[in-house]
Structure 1
Amino acid sequence: MVLNVVPFAGSAVYFLFGEIDLGKKAKQARQLVSRNIYDHAGDLKGREEDVNTDIARQYRSVFRYGASINGFYPVNGNHAALMADGAETLQRMVADIDGAQHHVHMLCYIWLEDHTGTDLAEALIRATKRGVTCRAVADGLGSRKLIKSTLWRRMKEAGVELAVALPLDRPFHTILTSRLDLRNHRKITVIDGQITYCGSRNYADPEFLVKARYAPWVDIMVRFEGPIVAQNQLLFVSDWAQATGETLDDLVQPVTPFKDGFPAQALGFGPVERRGATPQLFSTAIACAHEQIILSTPYFVPDGTVLDALCTAALRGVRVTLVFPKRNDSKIVAAASKSYYLKLLEAGCEIFEYKGGLLHAKTLTVDGRLGLVGSSNLDIRSFDLNFENNILFQDETLAGEIFERQQVYISGADPVTLIHVSNWPYHRRIWNNIIATIGPIL
């Protein structure tokens, strides 16, 4: 449509944003790195036969599908603690870094120089000075201010090994060979190969100074121990190798499972993986539901696969509850999201809009037994453009705790009804639908 309406400008726009391509050389290098790392991972990736022994029959399909993405199967024997809020997350992460004996690995899309970002950087500096090897990766766009800051320089001078994921130091080269908006959106922290954090929180305060008027940003973070740590370590190692050329295969070691632990599976998505893997995984998880699905996400611009899966689940009697922020930091994304409300509500889904800040938590619970946390939103950026990381798990305790957190979101939200949406002015509905047509580049 753009090429026909504005042929010259449209051609330029399509050149910049029309194809999802990391660049031939970069893609081949990334695939080679991942293949070498995963080929040497052995049982750290989990075993296919464990799906039948560790996973309930109704959820096996989603774990098997997850394994088809980067070869990780569920590993049993994990423990987890759901962080209460941003303050506890920071406190526990700093304490874990201060207690590190061998190494600390940190990767984040947005790393700010605020209280949280500075405290984490200072903890890395302290750890390095007492002989712990610390490695940190920041995305070239999301953390561009930090990368140019004195704090980043202090980390480097102290001996912290630093790397930039998808740097922007050669923008014209990137434009010619790839896309500027392909980003590493992952949030991975690994301490001594024994502890890992996974969730939606960046290394930034809830007040999120770069977009303070939408604050607080309401996130979720889970602290994991057990064999799942090795899988998250593999994701970090692959990103580190891509950014620096240095392989760290010897650092990925088995982790002793807990006898009373639960099975979990790390999921790494990105533009070098199979197209459509993320929406297909979400759709498979949704299709497993027998009773209830609760999903929260700040950015909801789904493709037809996910949209149809949600509607189908509601139509077959599953209670489907969706929680979005009432005020979004992107008006364009908010308008596109609302274009799907009518179809979802007509199918029987429940929609709530959270009022207490920008709900940034990406959560999915299924039947109170299956859960997914991580960095992936339900939009095209997370589906195709960003490198993302998530952890899929089967555990009634952790799923129940996340379910209770989701209930907190719902209690602080306004319900959106079919009557409400049907009464929207025509110009508003037309605007939402027009914006939805550019969903593939949001």
Structure 2
Amino acid sequence: MTSSLVGVMVALFYLLGLVSVVMALMSSRTSQGAVAWIISLLTFPYVAVPAYWLFGRPRFYGYVSARGARDSVLRQALSGYRAQIMPHLAKPGSTEIQAVEQLAMMPLTRGNQADLLIDGKATFSSLFAGLDSAQKYILVQFFIVRDDALGQRLKKHLFKAVERGVQVHFLYDEIGSHALSEAYLAELNAAGVSVSPFRSSRGLRHRFQINFRNHRKVTVVDGQKGWVGGLNVGVEYLGQSKRHGAWRDTHLALEGPSVLGLQEAFWEDWHWATGEVLELDWQPCVAKTADHPVVIVPSGPADQQDTASLLVQNLIYSAKERLWLTSPYFVPDQGVQDALRLAAMRGVDVRVMMPERPDHLLVYWSALAFLPDMLRGGVKIYRYLPGFLHQKVILIDSDAASIGTVNLDNRSFRLNFEITAFLPCTHFAADVDAMLRRDFHQCREVSLDELRGQPLWKKVISRAAYLTSPIQ
């Protein structure tokens, strides 16, 4: 290679570095992320430029949301559904709930039944019974699907549905389900199931969107029954993993008009993945045995705002007496950290439940960097002891709760497509209260002295890990 060619390549790298610096400056969602990328791009362009184009893109481009686009084919199809749901709208009752509706771009509906599903056995017993009741169609979406005993059970239920003449659409994240065998997918296709990966990096135009994930776990049956929450499809979610042992998770079963919110989120994701506009039933069906108010909050990197982070901050600021949160990955952005400390300072009982056993070491080490500040601000930190804690639950006072797929970290806030069910309902909050009290009885409380007493090498590693949080 001639020296002139080397010079051209070096100049090209620095030119791309400068272009990337401008992009990072103008589009990064956080100042910390912008500063980190700019320093890296100017100092180590040979490494940082490829990394930025793979991991630094702040938005997921090309995704058309029926809730946000003005003239999309989805929006036109959606107009009829939104008219039909008008009689089932619930009054927000507070400005905090109005803010949730604005973030969701979906309404709070009444006439719903919401049932807590605690851990894998209850979740998949309910979900598989729901699949067996399907008469028209099934929508299935998971971040992780494994070709193991549980994955085989799911496949058999889907096969039975197809045999009954039910249409089945199966959507999975290609990164989360990277280990899913081709044979499994081929069998689904051969049986008549419509199968698609989410395809975050679809086509040449979107080829650099590989750092985004579709982390949603949604199942819908006939537009009348729905499931959402923390569980994926794998035997570890049943507590059958030698690595993780007991697995603590929470899912939610819904009936009523709110199910159409889950359906709408799947509908948009399917349109992105395949280009198809599914013909579904949008007639709201009111639950017969309960009247829970529910709003479904989809969020993701295609949103104009940081929906998930703003949702969490809104719930924190609305708390007057109590705020209990659970998250397997707790590395929230500065806005959420500040909101938690301020809530504790104004007398709110703020508790954060985290796993004792990590399954993501980088996130685990990152949390150690800022937990002392949390404790000094009055936030109580608990470590769940019996096994791995994976549930994503927030309890606000005795009035409201949320269950969904959002972890309290930057990936869920800004890089993943997520979905949350928010229920401003005292009866449902009481069920969540009882569930979390049992969980807290199986935790140990973390002390400030414990964190202060860590050796220097641990503190250095945790600070270094925390610097990577914008792309974790």
Could you tell me the TM-score, scaled by structure 2's length?
Answer: 0.85
AA of the residue aligned to 2:376: E
- The equivalences for 1:97-116 within 5 A come to 97-116=131-150
- Alignment match, 2:55: 17
Task: State the SS of the aligned residue for 2:411.
Answer: helix
- Which structure 2 residue ranges, 5 or more long, are not aligned? 1-38
Identity among equivalent positions (%) equals 28
User: Could you say which structure has the larger radius of gyration?
Assistant: 2
Q: Is the 8 A contact 2:236 2:244 kept in 1?
A: no
Report the Cα offset of residue 33 of structure 1: 5.5
2:336 alignment partner in structure 1: 306
Name the aligned partner's letter for residue 421 of structure 2: I
Change (3 A) 1:424 1:178: same
Partner of 2:111: 77
Residues matched between the structures, number: 431
Tell me the secondary structure at the aligned position of residue 58 of structure 2: coil
Aligned pairs for 1:413-424 within 5 A: 413-424=443-454
**Candidates 185, 193, 201, aligned match of 1:152:** 185
Change (3 A) 1:44 1:342: farther
Give the superposition deviation at 1:213. Answer: 1.3
SS in 2 for 1:365: strand
Match of 1:65 in 2: 99
Structure 2 Cα separation of the partners of residues 436 and 273 of structure 1: 25
3-state SS of the aligned residue for 1:179?
coil
Q: Which residue of 1 aligns with 2:29?
A: none
Moved more, 66-75 or 309-318: 66-75
Where do residues 158-197 of structure 1 align in structure 2 (5 Å cutoff)?
Answer: 158-166=191-199, 173=204, 177-197=207-227
1:213 is aligned to 243
Alignment deviations for residues 278-312 of structure 1 (CA, whole Å, 9 cap, x no partner)? 11111111111111010000111111111111001
Select between 348-357 and 247-256 the one with higher mean Cα deviation: 247-256
Is residue 257–residue 286 contact of structure 2 (8 Å, CA) maintained in 1?
Answer: yes
In the TM superposition, residue 180 of structure 1 has moved relative to its aligned partner by 1.0
Deviations 1:342-373 (A, max 9, x none): 11111111100112222110000001221110
Q: CA deviation at 1:393?
A: 0.5
Structure 2 residue aligned with 1:88: 122
SS at match of 1:196: strand
Give the aligned CA root-mean-square deviation in angstroms: 2.4
Shift of residue 247, structure 1, vs aligned partner: 1.1
CA distance in 1, matches of 2:86, 2:144: 31
In structure 2, distance between residues paired with 1:34 and 1:402:
35
The more displaced of 223-232 and 11-20 is 11-20
User: Distance between the aligned counterparts of 2:95 and 2:129, measured in 1?
Assistant: 38
Measure, in 2, the Cα distance between the counterparts of 1:27 and 1:323.
36
Matched, 1:7 2:41: no
Secondary structure of the 2:423 match is: strand
User: Does 2:41 correspond to 1:41?
Assistant: no
Query: What is the match of residue 13 of structure 2?
Result: none
- 2:268 aligned with 1:238, yes or no? yes
One-letter identity of the residue aligned with 1:15: W
2:230 matched residue in structure 1? 200
Compared with structure 1, are the counterparts of its residues 315 and 28 closer, same or farther at alpha carbon in structure 2 (3 Å cutoff)?
closer
The 3-state SS of whatever aligns with 2:99 is helix
AA of the residue aligned to 1:165: F
Deviation at 1:101, TM superposition (A): 1.3
**From 417, 431, 438, the counterpart of 2:461:** 431
Stretch deviating more after TM superposition (212-221 or 349-358): 212-221
**Secondary structure at 1:251's aligned position in 2?**
coil
- Using the TM superposition, give the Cα deviation of residue 209 of structure 1 relative to its aligned residue in structure 2, in angstroms: 9.8
- 1:128 alignment partner, SS class: helix
Residues 117-128 of structure 1 mapped to structure 2, 5 A cutoff: 117-128=151-162
Q: Residue 392 of structure 1: SS of its match in structure 2?
A: strand
